[in-house]
Structure 1
Amino acid sequence: MPQVRPLRPAGPASRFAWLDDDQTPSLPEVHATVAVKPVEAAWFRRLLAFMGPGYMVSVGYMDPGNWATDLQGGAAFGYTLLSVIMLSNLMAILLQALAARLGVVTGRDLAQACRAFYPKPLNILLWATCELGIIACDLAEVIGTAIALQLLFGVPLVYGSLLTALDAILLLYLMNRGFRYLEAFVIALLLVIATCFTIQIIAAQPPVHAVLRSMITPSPEIITNPAALYIAIGIIGATVMPHNLYLHSSIVQTRNFAKTREGKRDAIRWAVTDSTIALMLALFVNAAILIVAAAAFHNSGHQDVAEIDQAFRLLSPLLGLGVASTLFAVALLASGVNSTVTATLAGQIVMEGFLRLRLPPWARRLITRCLAIAPVVAVITVYGSAGMNRLLVFSQVVLSIQLPFAAIPLVHFVSSRKRMGDFVISRPMAILSWSVTAVILLLNVKLLFDTFTGVGG
């Protein structure tokens, strides 16, 4: 196990003097570049200074992968799986709070912490599984963006998939302008998505009582029905995104907070507040997708709707709102474009943290994106759009299976007084965190059992 020298107080000699001698800060090009207001400033100004990373993290919780699982779940099972979305969101809030705490207190992202404190073979395993998760996430983004381009502009799926490689230019431009510009771009697209679904919810007029009951009361069918369980685990995989744990532990360090005990405690409080508010927006969007699908398809004899292009064709006539389908596609495009930011940054964080291998951002983006584009183009060629939608759902199940490989190290670190000092989480919080991780593991075991015995999915 590598020996890590204790952190030392910041000094005037170096901007990163508080870090270990051999530790490069996470995302060094934007590290500590966003000024925060002094502790005595008004609470709202403090919140605004820390607001941003939470919304970037929330992008991953409403990416195109969510659409496939939420649409399929709503059409097939009505409002039944709303409780899964609620549970997933609560899991996400907890795990992202832990990720922010790790980044603020240790000055390391999750990948760097794994490299510092775990043996090399385990690190290779964790890195490989994380890269698999990022490729699965990228699959969802490529597919979602390609479908949106086809629905809105008639671009063939293959060409739409290839066009997604150009997102490297967008990301580089925004990063060069400054991290706040990147955050503003992300938040603007999130508002577009939320607005589109607010209009569709109003048009769908779902029964409020049934929606609320399903959201807070889990149905036994979720566990007893293998098809429902498959979609439920896909929802968890699409909602609690494993690469976001690496991402959040890194980008929370873009804030230039004081590296004192009081400064870290204040930074944790505002970072957790930021991510919790942002993830409530993600809860609304995910629930809205499922609610619209349930209201439009489940009760109208279209329970077999499982593909995004099917939903696009049926939404306007079933909801009686001519613009509904267009709003649906616009939100999908905004979601796909937005999600490229989180996958790109997470890929860079993982590669640099585990391997200490730095590549130009455009090279990292193109490598990851090409790994995702290749299977998409192959599936389109062989199976057409139906195969794409099945691949989209499968990618979210892969993410769910990969999630414990990120959650277990995270909970392990923040539960360790040796690693966290006075900022170690309390025993009740540790029990809750390990319980959440155990639930994820059990669901994945059940999914794998059903899949290999032929009763799942």
Structure 2
Amino acid sequence: MRLGPGLLVTAAFIGPGTITTASVAGANFGFALLWTLLFSVLATILLQSMAARLGVATGQDLAQALRAHIDTPLFKALAAFLVISAIGIGSAAYEAGNFSGASMGLIAILPQINAQLWTPLIAFFSAILLYSGKHKLVENALILLVMLMSLVFISTLVMAAPAIHEILAGFIPSIPKSSITTVLALVGTTIVPYNLFLHSGVLAARHDSNSDKRKLIKQTNLDTSLSITLGGVITLAILSTASVAFFGTDAGKISAANMAMQLEPLLGGAAHYFFAIGLFSAGLTSAITAPLAGAYAVCGMLGWSNDMANIRFKLVALVILVFGGVVASLGLDPVAVIIFAQAANGLLLPIVTTYLIWLVNQQTVMGAYTNSTLLNLITLPVLLLIFGLSGYKLISLIF
């Protein structure tokens, strides 16, 4: 089989935010929260497999399926508002962080070049890829970046050489004092609502009514499992490296921006460049996939084409990209916009997940490819966690 759509999801969720969250988790709590990462990866595989199966079985992405199968006008209007605002605007808000992360990586590698040049150059490169409308070109570029990112972060893990028994102990569930926010952040940075639109959209765009759907679904499930597991290994590598380097020390505030420099005493001068390359790759992959996800969501809800070569699809993706590029280039503080995006996504995630599970259980939608009873039972605790996570996130943002 050939890996592909699943790696786009990996490219999307391993961004500067994931690097920061995993670094903070390792620095503050050692290996104690690895069980959270394991749960998040398994839950993501479960949900993304459903979204992918929807695209394969119906030829519709998640947004198109919502538009087609919600009959009540009020609920359809509410779904459209939530998807367009939370996914569209949310993708644009996070795009600024993606550009900033990629720029930080390049600044660390080439400090002699004017730092203000990097964001426009990264935005320009991303725009060319997206405007090409060539799915294969975009996919190959992202796969290359994911492979580079994997090599970099797994290499830093090998250099850090954590004790295997300490890693294994981290998979035993525990919640250290003051860790609940980090637990929720690890889950939230892995289970991302816009990736459900991205994954279903990519596969829906490839839909062929004459294909062997059952065989294709099996291939897609394997692709999803392997790709997202790779993303989990990358996050594990970042968390473990931070744990070895900083846990139990007074290293101060850890972030994606300063971790590369602070790793030098442990890993030597090469660590600075290794981590910076990884940060650049993570920022760039997310900078390309966020506009894609937003375009699938917005175009699907508005009844527009989900073909990457379609001019409306391109324009929506470019608007999201340009917004993020402008915020990052001007040095504006995107905190207020990101808080809105987090609040909207906190509201959207349980709703979208519930609708997704509802859709993949409808024979009128999925035909012979509905969820099994066992799969629904496995999904129930994941759904409960998502409702709890979203409720906590919204309450914390309000109060």
TM-score, length of structure 1 as denominator length: 0.77
* Residues 441 and 205 of structure 1: CA distance in aligned 2, closer, same or farther (over 3 Å): same
* Residues 103 and 441 of structure 1: CA distance in aligned 2, closer, same or farther (over 3 Å): same
* Residues 373 and 326 of structure 1: CA distance in aligned 2, closer, same or farther (over 3 Å): same
Shift of 1:89: 0.5
Shift of 1:147: 1.4
Deviates further, 66-75 or 438-447: 438-447
Corresponding position: 1:126 with 2:82? yes
Corresponding position: 1:165 with 2:123? yes
Read off the aligned partner of 2:34 and give its amino acid letter: L
1:171-206 deviation per Cα after TM superposition (whole angstroms, max 9, x unaligned): 334x44xx3333222221111111111221121111
- Structure 2 match to 1:9: none
Shift of 1:116: 0.8
- Structure 1 match to 2:308: none
- Structure 1 match to 2:253: 305
Corresponding position: 1:220 with 2:175? yes
Alpha-carbon contact 2:87-2:297 (below 8 Å) kept = yes
Shift of 1:397: 7.9
Deviates further, 231-240 or 278-287: 231-240
Structure 2 matches for 1:242-321, cutoff 5 A?
Answer: 242-255=193-206, 257-259=208-210, 263-302=212-251, 304-317=252-265, 319-321=266-268
Alpha-carbon contact 2:109-2:276 (below 8 Å) kept = yes
Q: Can you give the 5+ residue segments of structure 1 that lack an aligned partner in the other structure?
A: 1-46
Q: Distance in 1 between matches of 2:79 and 2:396?
A: 30
Corresponding position: 1:71 with 2:23? yes
Structure 2 matches for 1:129-140, cutoff 5 A?
Answer: 129-140=86-97
- Structure 1 match to 2:355: 409
Q: Distance in 2 between matches of 1:308 and 1:367?
A: 27
Structure 2 matches for 1:303-342, cutoff 5 A?
Answer: 304-317=252-265, 319-342=266-289
Q: Can you give the 5+ residue segments of structure 2 that lack an aligned partner in the other structure?
A: 306-310
Correspondence for 2:69 among 117, 126, 142: 117
Shift of 1:160: 3.4
Shift of 1:124: 2.4
Partner SS state of residue 447, structure 1: helix
- Structure 2 match to 1:448: 394
Structure 2 matches for 1:135-146, cutoff 5 A?
Answer: 135-146=92-103
Q: Distance in 2 between matches of 1:360 and 1:414?
A: 28
Shift of 1:255: 4.2
Q: Distance in 1 between matches of 2:14 and 2:144?
A: 14
Corresponding position: 1:207 with 2:160? no
Correspondence for 2:148 among 192, 195, 203: 192
Deviates further, 164-173 or 90-99: 164-173
The higher relative CO (CA closer than 8 Å, separation ≥ 6) is in: 2
Read off the aligned partner of 1:52 and give its amino acid letter: G
Read off the aligned partner of 2:296 and give its amino acid letter: I
Alpha-carbon contact 1:136-1:396 (below 8 Å) kept = no
How many residue pairs align between the two structures?
387
Shift of 1:134: 1.6
Shift of 1:307: 2.0
Shift of 1:329: 0.5
Shift of 1:91: 0.8
Q: CA RMSD in A?
A: 2.7
Q: Distance in 2 between matches of 1:344 and 1:450?
A: 27
* Residues 375 and 168 of structure 1: CA distance in aligned 2, closer, same or farther (over 3 Å): closer
Q: Distance in 1 between matches of 2:207 and 2:327?
A: 41
Alpha-carbon contact 1:92-1:240 (below 8 Å) kept = yes
- Structure 1 match to 2:189: 238
* Residues 122 and 362 of structure 1: CA distance in aligned 2, closer, same or farther (over 3 Å): closer
Q: Distance in 2 between matches of 1:323 and 1:399?
A: 38
Shift of 1:129: 2.1
State, as a whole percentage, how many aligned pairs show the same letter: 28
Alpha-carbon contact 1:297-1:305 (below 8 Å) kept = no
Q: Distance in 1 between matches of 2:342 and 2:186?
A: 7
1:287-332 deviation per Cα after TM superposition (whole angstroms, max 9, x unaligned): 1111111111113332x33322321211112x23220110100111
Q: Distance in 1 between matches of 2:256 and 2:339?
A: 11
Read off the aligned partner of 2:233 and give its amino acid letter: F
Shift of 1:257: 4.7
Shift of 1:391: 9.0
Larger Rg: 1
Alpha-carbon contact 2:299-2:313 (below 8 Å) kept = no
- Structure 2 match to 1:17: none
1:226-269 deviation per Cα after TM superposition (whole angstroms, max 9, x unaligned): xx222222222211121111111121235465546xx1111111
Corresponding position: 1:82 with 2:34? yes
Deviates further, 426-435 or 186-195: 426-435
* Residues 142 and 284 of structure 1: CA distance in aligned 2, closer, same or farther (over 3 Å): same
1:35-64 deviation per Cα after TM superposition (whole angstroms, max 9, x unaligned): xxxxxxxxxxxx13xx31111121112122
Read off the aligned partner of 1:134 and give its amino acid letter: S
* Structure 1 residue ranges (4+ consecutive) displaced by more than 6 angstroms after TM superposition: 390-398
TM-score, length of structure 2 as denominator length: 0.88
Partner SS state of residue 424, structure 1: coil
Q: Distance in 1 between matches of 2:302 and 2:207?
A: 26
Alpha-carbon contact 1:257-1:267 (below 8 Å) kept = no
Partner SS state of residue 431, structure 1: helix
